[in-house]
């Protein structure tokens, strides 16, 4: 079965479930992305930081799919903030991917201490006009970063990709994003596999005949999050995509909501430079 499509605020369609490739080494990346495409994935989330854009692009070129059938996100790294630097960084990602255009380009982190994300966004807005990238968005933006960005720019980010899993449900930010027609995307959607043995999740999974990872991915889909679980194992890749034949009840969604402690696994964006 295919992933549902989500309509972004610029009118473009994006598959709701995709593959994240952070920490996927270059030597396995081409094969892994090809396997994912065979399973049915039509979206890959990479970044300049991950050092595998060229491999992601190679896998897509080899897939035989029409370019429009696959959606690729990339991100510029923190040392490329600033108007000129960001434009160059986007061009470099486009070159490394070598698939014509990039579907979605993100500012990876706001880096508030550098205080250049508005300037960086203006470069993104201009590159959008060229067609090199089809949609633009941000990542790791708190509400206050978004408020500053929205007040100083014309294009509303299509997505805000943030750390989001049952332990960090980001309810307030998800609400803010929704109010501004920004889709919320979950990174570390499985909490980096840190709570796959949680008894409440295990019980729900067993009652449905599904794995805990599948239950968590389903929770994201039902919350209307975009979601990009990473796996470098072909069986788990298939497992993570096999989530379209069941639904969590409101009661089960409620049980998962009790796991939310708004606790991060990774760095708070305000502290990242």
Known catalytic residues are 50
Question: Binders of ligand NDP among 151-190, rule CB under 6 A?
Answer: 161, 187-190
Tell me the C-alpha distance between 108 and 116, whole Å.
13
Q: In whole angstroms, how close is the CB of 188 to ligand NDP at the nearest point?
A: 4
As given in the structure block, the two tokens for residue 50 are: 């991950």
Q: How many residues bind ligand NDP (CB under 6 A)?
A: 27
26-39 and 53-63 are packed helices; what angle lies between their axes, rounded to 10 degrees?
40
> Under the criterion CB under 6 A, does residue 232 sit at the interface with ligand NDP?
yes
| Strand, helix or coil for residue 136 | strand
From the number of C-beta atoms within 10 Å of its C-beta (0-12, 13-18, 19+), residue 215 rates as buried
Q: Exactly one of 26, 172, 233, 268 binds ligand NDP (CB under 6 A); which one? A: 233
Site map (CB under 6 A) of ligand NDP, residues 4-43, x = contact: ----------------xxx---------------------
Q: Exactly one of 35, 140, 167, 225 binds ligand NDP (CB under 6 A); which one? A: 140
Nearby residues of 140 by Cβ (< 8 Å), 6 or more positions away: 108, 109, 110, 161, 162, 163, 269, 272
> Under the criterion CB under 6 A, does residue 135 sit at the interface with ligand NDP?
no
> Under the criterion CB under 6 A, does residue 225 sit at the interface with ligand NDP?
no
Tell me the C-alpha distance between 126 and 19, whole Å.
28
Tell me the C-alpha distance between 168 and 259, whole Å.
8
Pick the closer one to ligand NDP by CB: 41 or 251: 41
Q: Which residues bind ligand NDP (CB under 6 A)?
A: 20-22, 45, 108, 139-140, 161, 187-193, 196, 211, 213, 228-233, 236, 239-240
């Amino acid at each position: 079965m295919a992933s549902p499509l989500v309509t972004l605020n610029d009118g473009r369609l994006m598959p709701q479930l995709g593959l994240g490739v952070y920490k996927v080494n270059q030597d396995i990346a081409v094969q892994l992305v090809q396997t994912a495409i065979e399973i049915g994935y039509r979206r890959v989330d990479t970044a300049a930081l991950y050092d595998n854009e060229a491999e992601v692009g190679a896998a897509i070129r080899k897939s035989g799919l029409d370019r429009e059938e696959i959606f690729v996100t990339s991100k510029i790294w923190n040392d490329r903030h600033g108007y000129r630097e960001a434009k160059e960084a986007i061009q470099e990602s486009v070159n490394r991917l070598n698939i014509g255009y990039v579907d979605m380009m993100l500012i990876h982190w706001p880096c508030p201490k550098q205080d250049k994300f508005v300037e960086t966004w203006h470069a993104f807005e201009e590159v959008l006009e060229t067609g090199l990238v089809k949609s633009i968005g941000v990542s790791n933006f708190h509400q206050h970063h978004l408020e500053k960005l929205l007040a100083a720019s014309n294009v509303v980010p299509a997505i805000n990709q943030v750390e989001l899993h049952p332990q960090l449900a980001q309810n307030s930010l998800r609400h803010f994003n929704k109010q501004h027609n920004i889709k919320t995307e979950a990174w570390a959607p499985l909490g980096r596999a840190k709570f796959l043995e949680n008894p409440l999740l295990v019980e729900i999974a067993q009652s449905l005949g599904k794995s805990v990872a599948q239950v968590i991915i389903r929770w994201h889909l039902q919350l209307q999050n975009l979601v990009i679980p990473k796996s470098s194992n072909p069986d788990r890749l298939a497992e993570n995509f096999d989530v379209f034949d069941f639904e969590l009840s409101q009661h089960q969604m409620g049980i998962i909501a009790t796991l939310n402690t708004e606790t991060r696994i990774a760095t708070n964006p305000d502290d990242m430079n």
